[in-house]
Structure 1
């Protein structure tokens, strides 16, 4: 999947550092923040891919970084925690088979452009939109005044097609990033994953810890997250899968302050990988949360903690997705 960045009328490579000659070609396009790339988003993207294949078009997802609510948030700038960091979003969309991810660098100046300007000068002239796929409730442009009706008006004038994907519900409930955030904050990760359509992802770099897990017989890797705006689930012990260089290992992950062995005031993320041995310091890792086992708590002794870790490990081994 090609990834490019659009800023101040210019197109850059995926890092946003070097200007490139972006190939404008007939494209099926969808637009949105796509935070979480949840099951509702996936239905729109599936429609996009089908439309691209049917009409011989390139499939393009146009999204924004930072998230618009981090720039013009209703509760003040920066009032949103992200379900997917930019690199995570790229990984998920590439896995779905999207040809091109077109990232618009979103700032206050860009937010002042009208929906009409965005359709003409970005979607048509820069990307090459010939078919635009949006969700039934999508709004874009200044004050989110752009809609399916706006697109259809331009479509009649400029000759592109518009597909509006109907709402999908799960047990009568709307798919929304807001609902998923709420479930994760409550520790209800298995339910959140149903709405996401995939396990919740946390990614970062392996850093050095205190080595206490190794002394207990459960060596762990400590993860430094890739972005400060990432939404963190409720503290506790989780069943997870760890991905390293394309290989996956079942893991038990702890997110918390480790009250039995540490007086840390800030929570840390650490994971014990089943079936892995070796050093991972400095490596990139993705953790996929599958379910939550229990709350974190203080144990009376290290032996009591070790016995609980044995029980947790058994639960992780027996867990079936």
Structure 2
């Protein structure tokens, strides 16, 4: 797959199947749309194109919105997952004044037709484009049916609930990894580097690997203790991860992500890793004493070990 951060100056390709959207998380609902694009493109032997955005549209309409820890899949991850589905070209354009105020007619005529030679448009069930969200499957079929075949993909559901990025974010904030991972179709992960912490975990008898996130826009699960596994140098190691502010041992309000790796003693400081969050054990809480905290950590570790035979490692 080839990807770009701007539209081409001139005509790019002769014929294509196109979908448009933010695709944050590239979840199972998004996969239905993207797979349909690939299917049509392969059948017609033409190119499949995704037009997405390098910033969330909400950040344009609300400049004061805090973008930190707001995305299920920052750029690098989104590119990775869209490519894995088989899309030929991905355009990650800035959602700016030009795009926000571009009429649907101009979007279709000046970009989709003139630059990409669109023959088919595939959109999610609730997706729109163009100024005031005028562009839709019905709009395209009513005004451009001689040039473009537009399709709407039915909603994807899990246990009767619509799969959407906003719903997944709510579950992630609750620490409900069963719902989060099921709707994504993969285990949610955090990418970053192992850095030195204050070594308090080691002093308590449970040394931890502290992760500094690669991208500050990445959404972090809600505070709590989780069963997890860490991928480093191609090896997967189970662990118990605490996400939070460690209220028993510090007054710091900085959110930390630290993992006690089970039966693993190697030095991995400075390593690039990926941490997969599998299941929540409990909420983070402040304990009355260090012995009480140590006893609880020990119980968390024993519980995690008891669950390992039930867990399948899959990214």
Give TM-score scaled by structure 1 length: 0.84
Do residues 86 (structure 1) and 75 (structure 2) align? yes
Choose which of 248, 255, 258 in structure 2 pairs with 1:260. Answer: 248
Q: Distance in 2 between matches of 1:90 and 1:134?
A: 19
**Could you tell me how far apart the structure 2 residues matched to 1:26 and 1:286 are?**
38
Structure 2: state its 5+ residue gaps.
none
2:139 aligned with 1:161: no
Q: Deviations over 1:118-138 (max 9, x none)?
A: 223333333443322111221
Which residue in 2 is equivalent to 1:203?
191
For 2:238 and 2:125, locate their aligned partners in 1 and report how far apart those are by CA, in whole Å.
38
2:102 is matched with 113
Query: Contact 1:71–1:77 (CA<8 Å) still a contact in 2?
Result: no
Q: 1:5: Cα distance to partner?
A: 1.0
* Alpha-carbon distance, 1:145 to partner: 1.3
Task: Write out aligned runs for 1:1-321 (5 A).
Answer: 1-6=1-6, 9-10=7-8, 24=13, 26-73=15-62, 77-78=64-65, 81-153=70-142, 155-157=144-146, 159-274=147-262, 276-317=264-305, 318-319=307-308, 320-321=310-311
The answer to whether the Cα contact below 8 Å between 2:8 and 2:115 also exists between their aligned partners in 1 is no
- SS of 2:145's partner is helix
Indicate if the aligned counterparts of 2:140 and 2:148 stay in contact, CA closer than 8 A.
no
- Aligned-residue Cα RMSD (Å) equals 2.6
How big is the shift at 1:91? 2.2
Gaps of 5+ in 1: 12-20
- Partner of 2:90, secondary structure, is strand
Q: Which is worse superposed, 168-177 or 297-306?
A: 297-306
How far apart are 1:220 and its partner, in Å? 1.9
Distance of 1:190 and 1:32 partners within structure 2: 26
The residue that corresponds to 1:17 in the other structure is none
Deviation at 1:96, TM superposition (A): 2.7
Matched-pair contact (CA < 8 Å) for 1:136–1:148: no
User: How many Å separate the matches in 2 of 1:132 and 1:229?
Assistant: 30
TM-score (norm 2): 0.86
Per the TM alignment, residue 171 of structure 1 is displaced from its structure 2 partner at its CA by 2.9
1:15 is matched with: none
Question: How far 1:289 moved relative to its partner?
Answer: 1.6
Give the direction of change, closer, same or farther, for the CA distance of 1:3–1:141 in structure 2 (3 Å limit).
same
8 Å Cα contact 2:287/2:293 also seen in 1: yes
- 1:155 and 1:162 in contact (8 A); partners too: no
Contact 1:88/1:201 (<8 A) preserved: no
CA distance in 2 between counterparts of 1:208 and 1:22 reads 51
CA 1:269 to 1:128, structure 2 compared with 1: closer, same or farther past 3 Å?
A: farther
